[in-house]
Structure 1
Amino acid sequence: MKTWIAGEVLSASDLNAEFNSILNNGEDLAWPATKAKDLDGQELILDSDGDTSITASTDDLIDFKIGGTDRTSVGTEGFQGQGDILLAIHVFGD
């Protein structure tokens, strides 16, 4: 895959090479996932307006953002609520 620089001319062969890269590596770009995805600490946005997400930008800590604000985290110590978040867990039996 080529890194393009502003002002470079895109030739037909360059364009075809980029399309071939996408077609040959499609599983890295698409869902359903066919292999593990490494987000490398980047945010996974879950809704259409972009204010609900999951991030793991710090080692061993997952942050859940709802309405644009971090609401809860899960780390090695368990759940850590922020603000007035209520965590309800329901266990289904047989």
Structure 2
Amino acid sequence: MTRPDRKLNRLSGFDYSRDSLYFVTSCVQNKACVFDEVIDEEMQLNECGLIAERQWHWLAEQYSYVILHAFEVMPNHVYGILEIDRDSIQVGTCPR
């Protein structure tokens, strides 16, 4: 199976593991609208949209050096800004 040519999403030579702010977009295959639905004339996240939102928050729970900023679930994609800041890790501290 051959894959279609795609535009490169990454800046050549940039170290994406370094501390910085990152704008992240994830799109649904074939642009299918799977994350929300209209209820009483308002967009409401459905089960898939709630999963996407939970997973976004999970990043900060799982990785103490990740700081979450703006985030939005749209009908067929999610986007957000996250920050990698290893200086924010508190080493050697115990909860009281």
TM range (shorter): under 0.3
Query: Which is greater in Rg?
Result: 1
**What TM-score does the superposition give when structure 2 sets the normalisation length?**
0.23
Higher helix fraction (1 or 2):
2
Higher relative contact order (CA 8 A, sep 6+): 2
